Amino acid sequence: MSSKAGDASHSSQLHDLPTDPPAAYPHYVTRDDENAVPIFDWRDVTQRNAANDKMRKGVPVVLRNTKIAVPSTSPGTPGIHISRDGLCQKWGDSGDDPDDDSKDRFQNFANSSFRDARKWRVLLSSTSPNKRNRFLPIVPGNNAYGGHYRVRQPETAVTRFSTTEFAKCAREWQNRGCYLEDEVASIAIVAGETDTVPRDIPGKETTRQPRQPKHGVRPVSGGDGLGKEVVDGLNWEVRVFRLSQIRTHRGGPITGD
Amino acid sequence: MTECSGHAVRKTLTTILSQSQAVDEVATLQKFGPLKSVSVGAGTRNSLLPFYVPTASGILGGALSTDAKQTVSGQKNEHAPSSNSGALDNETSRTVPDSHGLSVSEFDVQSDAAAKEAFLAATDDSGFETMQVQIVGRRKVLLVSPDQTYTGMYPYPVGHPLDGRSMVDWADVAYDRFPNAAGVTGRVCVLAPGDVLFVPEGWWRHEQGLSHTHAHVQLRFGRSPLGSIPGSGIFVRTRGNSQTQIPPDFAIGRPRHADASLFFVGRRVEKRVVGFEGLAEARRWLEIIAQDEIGAWCDLSTVDGARRVEIARRIREEIDFGLPPPKISKEAFREQLDTEFKVGAGGTGTGTLNRTNPKVQGENPGRSVAPFHDETLALARAPPRNVTALALASHRELRGKGRYEKFLRELIDGRMAPTPWLDDGFVDPLFVSEAIARLGNDNSKQGNDSLELMNPVGSSSLRVALPGGGGLTAQKKFLPDDRTDVERRFPEMFVDTLKKKGWGGTKHTPVSVLNPEHPQFVGKK
């Protein structure tokens, strides 16, 4: 079975470009990029099964064409299909080449900022030339004064930026790097929080509330911009999520592909 | 009465073996754990996240690691770029009173709650499986299996501020300090928009941005509440000294993969020792346990001594139970069964199962194989499913027992020592200001030349000469060169003296083969 899984994957397809920065690790680690993560086409049933088999065995895989972050149509209300923009389309600068430096970086990404009530965690690298692009945030709780492993001056600073600020820094900073990394959404763990559509009572006028998503994933507090874009921009009904136990959280079974 | 025959047992096991896909697999549910959180990562070209494994402490630290003063109302973010263009949001966040009545940012309070929630959801006994969905640009991700955690990755100790990250600078590996890094192998991929990378739990990841702009979304799946003996399908919950074994039928979620358990067993052992002995003493006690010298170091008649012996016992058991079995081929396992479950010389109807195992005894010369228990008689009578579970557990128990020595030596190899190189180039800001202040005072005095400016006016950085020699800049302190001529010519003869003075670069004495610190040392360490 495992041999079949191996056969179904694509061969090494790294697609390194001449403009790519050099690898930041010794070449023997990947045997000059010969050791590649297997790639599977999610549309192909054979490859999909092979990928599932690999994942069950705890082997990393790359899945292509999963339609997770592409435009999709979801049944928001029975009978009415709402077209949604996928996250790739929302943030992808309308198909602009992200390698083109002349384009405004993170333009669409930053547009979500005006709805955000909170700022997001951003790592700021050292200004030292050989550490300019490296991000090594520390765990502050372990860095007590006088501690056995005290790091007196962590090379990576941590702060909070709005997405607009982050985009501006990413565009303008030359001597220092910044990297946005934060939790934007989580599963709704409060019982009964999902599927709370009020039923119409005959003879009584009620206001129909928007249906809560079946997947139960919601943006974090204050993250109505970035968080909501991520939740809305991912297609939670693709088959790949059937592997998860989202449904144990009152989400109901996920059907369809 | 059912006839108990060694032949029957062997036949049953061989049949089951031929039906199973691999030795280390027992059929269990194959679902992911519940989705815990969704995070976003975005960076620029060549942004590098060196090797790391997401851990609970890292997540908690990440969510709480911003300085409170930067989001408290009334104070602006000092890292924010110039706002002359008006593009930045200068509004400070709303404030709410915290538990002490102080006015803090509303979202600091919420972040605190979210971090605690994430921490509770992600204890060290439950790792993460993640799916990284690439949204914008391209990113290169290098993955290394967790079975190389203590044989090449050199993770920072669990109590370290950089917990969950590799000590090795992989862009410029210091092989003299981390020799096993030369044996690490990994798998690489380049993610384009729309690609989904599945990263199993415990895998080391090394991420590098290739495009000028790249962003991805990471879906983090938790684990089922029960831990597992890797690959065996028998789940163990440890509460104090009690252990509960649950057959595979009751397994919830996916069993932890054998390779990943190496990582988590190591962390659990480390945390246990650190909890009892402290960060500074943890390495020494692990060394003592690895050498089976706990009896020599502890007096059982004292409370502390008895406690330490008990801790050592728990650690050995945690490793024995939690460590994955060595990877063996199907043929080797079949051969093992032949050796292990062969019919005794008596040839009677009940038969005797010979459990002598020269390989195991060879691995653990100091340990005797446990006598055969009555379960073995029930082995042949039991249904095939139980036969599988018991036999495979027995097989793994044999292979796993006594390997704590090797594992603990790997665990402390090159680790759990202070990390002074992280403070290279650090100068206490108070010291700098004090030196400058003294410089000003001393310059005002006529005729005092103990302090002087070392660089002329107009130089890029201020350099101050310190009294007694040496100098100081904003970035670095220079030592006074008080070496003698002999010390300069033959530094290897004065290693200790020079180290005390703060001179690096001389690591080994000329008689290297007799120096325990030298890589080519020939004696016993």
- Residue A223 with chain B: CB contacts under 8 Å: none
Subunit contact B44:A20, Cβ cutoff 8 A: no
pLDDT band at B203 (very low <50, low <70, confident <90, very high): very high
Cα dihedral sign for A140, A146, A147, A151?
Answer: positive
Q: Which residues of B404-437 are buried (b: 16+ CB within 10 A; e: fewer)?
A: bbebbebbbebbbeebeebeeeebeeeebeebee
Q: By mean pLDDT, which of A83-87, B75-79, B288-292 is the weakest?
A: B75-79
Please state which of the ranges A15-29, A71-85, A223-237, B462-476 shows the lowest mean pLDDT: A71-85
Phi, psi of B201 (to 5 degrees): -70, 145
Kindly state the percentage of chain B with pLDDT values over 70: 45
The residue to which tokens 């410029």 are assigned = B172
To the nearest whole angstrom, how far is the Cα of B74 from the nearest Cα of chain A?
A: 15
**CA proximity to B49, closest of A53, A23, A133, A39:** A133
- Cβ-contact B382, B390 below 8 angstroms: yes
Is 70 exceeded by the pLDDT of residue B68? Answer: no
Q: Are residues B264 and B150 in the same domain?
A: no
Poorest-pLDDT segment among B159-168, B242-251, B320-329: B242-251
**What is the per-residue pLDDT across B480-518, written as a single tens digit (0 to 9) for each?**
777 888 887 777 777 778 877 777 666 666 555 666 666
What gap in Å lies between CA B291 and CA B217, rounded to an integer?
A: 46
**Are residues B162 and B156 in contact, defined by beta-carbon separation less than 8 angstroms?**
yes
Cβ distance of B60 and A141 shorter than 8 Å: yes
| B286 shares a domain with B180 | no
Domain assignment present for residue B113? The answer is no
* A240 assigned to some structural domain: no
Average pLDDT over residues B290-317: 88
Identify whether A34 is part of a domain: no
* A 155-184: CB under 8 A from B: 157-162, 164-166, 168-170, 172-173, 177-184
Residue B49: list chain A partners with CB under 8 A.
135, 179
**Mean predicted lDDT score pLDDT of chain B:** 67
Q: Mark yes or no for CB contact B206/A106 under 8 Å.
A: no
B268 CA to chain A: closest CA distance, Å? 17
Q: SS in 3 state form for chain A?
A: CHHHHHHHCECCCCCCCCCCCCCCCCHHHHCCCCCECCEEECCCHHHHHHHHHHHHCCCCEEEECCCCCCCEEEEEECCEEEEECCHHHHHCHHHCCCCCCCCCCCHHHHHHHHHCCCCEEEEECCCCHHHCCECCCCCHHHCCCCCCCCCCCCCCEEEEECHHHHHHHHHHCCCCCEEEEEEEEEECCCCCCCCCCCCCCCCCCCCCCCCCCCCCEEECCCCCCHHHHHHHHCCCCCHHHHHCCHHHHCCCCCCCC
Residues of B with Cβ-Cβ distance to A60 under 8 angstroms: 143, 187, 189, 197-200, 203
CB-based burial of residue A222 (10 Å sphere; 0-12 exposed, 13-18 middle, 19+ buried)? buried
Does A106 sit within 8 Å of B42, measured CB to CB? yes
Asked if residue B394 and residue B515 are part of one domain, the reply reads: no
A197 touches chain B (CB under 8 A): no
Q: Which helix (H) or strand (E) holds B136?
A: strand B129-136
Rounded mean pLDDT, B410-428? 84
Give the separation between CA B255 and CA A241, rounded to whole angstroms. 19
For A146-170, b where at least 16 C-beta lie within 10 A, e where not — what string?
Answer: eebbbbeebbbbbbbbbbbbbbbbb
What is the C-alpha separation between B29 and B88, in angstroms, rounded? 50
Owner of token pair 């047992």:
B9
How many domains in chain B?
4
How far from the centroid of its chain's Cα atoms is residue A13's Cα?
22
B109 within some domain: no
Q: Are residues B370 and B393 in the same domain?
A: yes
| Torsion region of B73: left, alpha or beta (phi above 0 gives left; psi -120 to 50 gives alpha) | beta
Residue B66 vs residue B207, higher pLDDT: B207
Q: What was the pLDDT predicted at B191? A: 92
Asked if A61 is an interface residue toward chain B (Cβ–Cβ < 8 A), one would say yes
Q: What residues of A are in contact with residue B60 (Cβ under 8 Å)?
A: 139, 141
d(CA B308, CA B275): 12
Residue A140 belongs to domain spanning? 98-180
Q: What is the mean pLDDT of residues A151-156?
A: 88
- Give the gap in angstroms from C-alpha B11 to the nearest C-alpha of chain A: 24
Asked whether B31 and B144 are in contact (CB, 8 A), the reply is no
pLDDT at A196: 41
Asked whether the beta carbons of B10 and B342 are under 8 A apart, the reply is yes
Mean pLDDT of A70-81: 50
Confirm if A37 and A60 have CB atoms less than 8 A apart: yes
- Higher local confidence (pLDDT), B360 or B275: B275
Q: Which of B45, B77, B163 sits opposite A21 (nearest CB)?
A: B45
Higher pLDDT, residue B515 or A139: A139
Decide if A137 is inside a domain.
yes
Residue with tokens 């292979």: B399
Q: Cβ contacts (< 8 Å) between B48 and chain A: which residues?
A: 24, 133-135
Tell whether A87 is covered by a domain: no
Looking at CA atoms only, how far is residue A199 from chain B in angstroms? 29
How distant is the Cα of B202 from the closest Cα of chain A, in angstroms? 10
> Is residue B403 predicted with pLDDT exceeding 70?
yes
List, for residues B318-344, the tens digit of each pLDDT value.
887 777 666 666 676 667 666 665 544
**Angstroms from B247 CA to nearest CA on chain A:** 19
Mutate to test the interface with B, among A111, A142, A232, A237 (most CBs of B within 10 A): A142
Cβ atoms of B133 and B196 closer than 8 Å:
yes
* Position B117 in a domain: no
Interface check for A15 against chain B (CB to CB < 8 A): the answer is: yes
pLDDT digits (tens, 9 = 90+) for A171-218: 888 888 999 988 888 776 544 444 444 444 455 554 555 555 666 777
| Minimal CA separation from A129 to chain B, in Å | 13
Number of domain units in chain A: 1
Domain housing B394: 1-28+229-417
In a domain, A209, yes or no: no
How many CB atoms are closer than 10 A to CB B264?
23
Pair (B352, B239) in one structural domain: yes
> How much of chain A exceeds pLDDT 70, in percent?
64
- Partners of B135 on chain A (C-beta within 8 Å) are 69, 87-88, 91-92
Contact across the interface for A134 and B419, Cβ inside 8 Å: no
- In B, which residues are within 8 Å of A248 by CB distance? 34
Q: Which residue of B has its CA nearest to A179?
A: B43
Q: Are residues B175 and B311 in the same domain?
A: no
B370: in domain: yes
Return the H-helix or E-strand segment holding B442. Answer: helix B429-444
Which residues in chain A (216-235) have CB-CB distances under 8 A to chain B? Answer: 217, 220-222, 226, 230-231, 234
Task: Please state the pTM of the whole predicted model.
Answer: 0.68
pLDDT at B374 over 50: no
Cβ(B343)–Cβ(B427) below 8 Å = no
User: Using an 8 Å Cβ cutoff, are B105 and A40 in contact?
Assistant: no
Q: What is the mean pLDDT of residues A75-81?
A: 44
Q: Is the pLDDT assigned to residue B231 strictly greater than 60?
A: no
Give tens-digit pLDDT for B450-464. 445 555 444 455 666
* pLDDT, average across residues B146-161: 91
Q: Residue A67: inside a domain, yes or no?
A: no
Arithmetic mean of pLDDT, B64-68: 41
Mean per-residue pLDDT of chain A? 72
The residue among B149 and A52 whose pLDDT is bigger is B149
Residue A84 lies in a domain: no
CA distances from B277 to B162, B284, B307, B391 (A): 20, 9, 11, 38
| Shared domain check, B454 and B404 | no
Residues B32-57: tens digit of each pLDDT? 666 777 889 999 888 999 999 887 66
* Same-domain check for residues B360 and B411: yes
Q: Check if the beta carbon of residue B158 is closer than 8 Å to that of residue B274.
A: yes
- In a domain, residue A133? The reply is yes
Q: List CB contacts (< 8 A) between A184 and chain B.
A: 38-40
Q: Where are the alpha helices (DSSP H) in B293-374?
A: 294-297, 303-322, 330-340, 358-363
- pLDDT higher than 70, residue B22: no
Considering only B146-150, B203-207, B447-451, which range has the smallest mean pLDDT? Answer: B447-451
Return the higher-pLDDT residue of B347 and A155: A155
Total CB pairs under 8 A between chain A and B: 368
Do B405 and B441 lie in one domain? The reply is: no
Q: Which residues of chain B are within 8 Å of residue A166 when distances are taken between CB atoms?
A: 42
3-state helix, strand, coil split of chain B in percent (to 5) is 40, 15, 45
Provide the pLDDT confidence category of residue B9 given band limits of 50, 70 and 90: low
- Structural domain contains residue B357: yes
Residues of chain B with C-beta less than 8 angstroms from the C-beta of A71: none
Same domain, B381 and B251: yes
| Last residue in a domain, options B221, B255, B280 | B221
pLDDT at residue B286 is higher than 90: yes
- Condensed to tens digits (0 to 9), the pLDDT of residues B82-133 reads 433 333 334 444 555 555 555 555 555 555 555 555 555 545 555 678 889 9
Cβ–Cβ gap A58/B257 under 8 Å: yes
Pairwise CB contact (< 8 Å): B42 & A179: yes
Tell me which chain A residues have a C-beta less than 8 angstroms from the C-beta of B81: 165, 168-169, 172-173
- Kindly report the backbone phi and psi dihedral angles of residue B49, in degrees, each rounded to the nearest multiple of 5, phi listed first: -105, 100
Closest CA to B150 of B401, B402, B413, B406: B413
Predicted confidence at residue B497, as pLDDT, reads 81
| B471 and B504 share one domain | no
Mean pLDDT on B137-149 = 93
**Are both B312 and B402 inside the same structural domain?**
yes
Report CB contact under 8 Å: A183, B37: yes
Instruction: State how far the Cα of B195 lies from the Cα of A243, in Å rounded to an integer.
Output: 17
What residue of B is the nearest CA neighbor of A166? B80
Residue B115 domain flag: no
